[in-house]
């Protein structure tokens, strides 16, 4: 019996659902799931999640939070409550993102990560089922380094280049999420090109470079390709440790009957080992990021986008509960 591309892919790669949509997660039953502020905001607008929102607000109010802190606490509780609902469906882990506004503050990122984990603990969730998701700024990576040293698993997101991946390896983070689609979008615009063949897709090539580097240097951090625009991009990274895929692409993969072959494996990685891994310093990281216009713009743009999504959710909550929008600075 012919298998779908999705079924074949699952034999090569751990498939993760990139969604806060509980119905979609129920349908595709991935091992793991990832969320982000944009996905949480989208999920909050689904009628079936109204009760979760009301419960989150009631809990924040009961804890004594007021005004803007009440809204922020409600968002954190809602984010965790959605994570718990997801974990009730899947067998593996969920990635829960720290407020992107903290991306350049190491200490506040650490504190927020522990707040989120404390909420999960209160709901009876084992810490090992949570990945704390943090933007791959230098400050975010140092926060992850400190958290990992305490046994708290992290997923470093908004990753667009090898310099970020090297710093994450130095921090011994559990998992990184190098982006594919956003890199493609940037190059299409920058080079005024309508499309790239998959073997020249700059997003796919970026993840391959990082994957090969990690395997060559026996770096244990898992690589999870993210931000896909097409089925071809997903299949172009078949064999990667993990791939996090939106429900619309999971559905297309389930209907696609082409033969799927591994595009990445450890044997490929070992063929072109050049030099040993050396730790990257803060100065080197900053210099390499600033000299890579694509990575620099996409990292900051991604952070700004997630901040905006959280602000949209805050507005939604204020309107929903009749709170005065003027109390927010």
310, 99 Cβ separation under 8 angstroms: yes
User: Alpha-carbon distance 16 to 320, whole Å?
Assistant: 32
Count of residues for the chain?
A: 329
Question: How far is it between the farthest Cα atoms of the chain?
Answer: 62
User: Alpha-carbon distance 4 to 259, whole Å?
Assistant: 8
* DSSP assignment letter at 226: B
Neighbours of 38 (CB within 10 A): 18
User: Alpha-carbon distance 119 to 84, whole Å?
Assistant: 10
Write the DSSP assignment of 86-109 as a string of letters: HHTT-SS-EEEEPPGGGTT-HHHH
Catalytic positions are 133
74, 317 Cβ separation under 8 angstroms: yes
**What are the start-end ranges of the E strands in the chain?**
14-18, 32-34, 94-97, 130-135, 154-159, 175-178, 222-225, 242-245
Which positions ≥6 away from 178 have C-beta within 8 Å?
159, 160, 165, 206, 207, 210, 223, 224, 225, 226
């Amino acid at each position: 019996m012919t298998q779908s591309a999705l079924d074949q892919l699952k034999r090569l790669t751990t498939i993760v659902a990139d969604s806060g949509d509980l119905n979609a997660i129920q349908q595709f039953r991935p091992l793991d799931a990832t969320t982000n502020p944009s996905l949480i905001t989208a999920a909050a607008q689904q009628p079936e999640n109204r009760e979760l929102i009301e419960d989150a607000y009631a809990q924040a109010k009961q804890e004594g939070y007021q005004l803007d802190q009440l809204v922020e606490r409600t968002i954190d509780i809602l984010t965790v409550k959605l994570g718990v609902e997801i974990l009730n469906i899947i067998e593996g882990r969920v990635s829960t993102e720290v407020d992107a506004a903290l991306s350049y503050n190491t200490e506040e990122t650490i504190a927020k990560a522990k707040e989120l984990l404390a909420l999960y603990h209160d709901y009876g969730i084992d810490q090992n089922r949570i990945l704390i998701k943090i933007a791959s700024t230098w400050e975010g990576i140092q926060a992850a380094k400190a958290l990992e040293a305490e046994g708290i698993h992290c997923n470093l997101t908004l990753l667009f280049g090898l310099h970020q991946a090297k710093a994450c390896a130095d921090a011994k983070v559990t998992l990184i999420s190098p982006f594919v689609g956003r890199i493609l979008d940037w190059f299409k615009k920058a080079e005024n090109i309508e499309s790239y063949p998959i073997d020249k897709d700059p997003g796919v090539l970026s993840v391959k470079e990082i994957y090969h580097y990690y395997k060559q240097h026996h770096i244990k951090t898992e690589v999870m390709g993210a931000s896909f625009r097409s089925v071809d991009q997903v299949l172009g990274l078949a064999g990667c440790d993990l791939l996090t895929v939106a429900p619309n692409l999971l559905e297309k993969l389930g209907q696609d009957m082409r033969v799927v072959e591994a595009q990445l494996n450890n044997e490929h990685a070992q063929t072109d080992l050049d030099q040993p891994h050396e730790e990257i310093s803060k100065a080197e990281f900053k210099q390499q990021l600033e000299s890579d216009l694509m990575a620099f713009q996409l990292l900051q743009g991604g952070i700004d986008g997630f901040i905006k999504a959280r602000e949209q959710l805050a507005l939604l909550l204020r309107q929903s509960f009749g709170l005065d929008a003027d109390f927010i600075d």
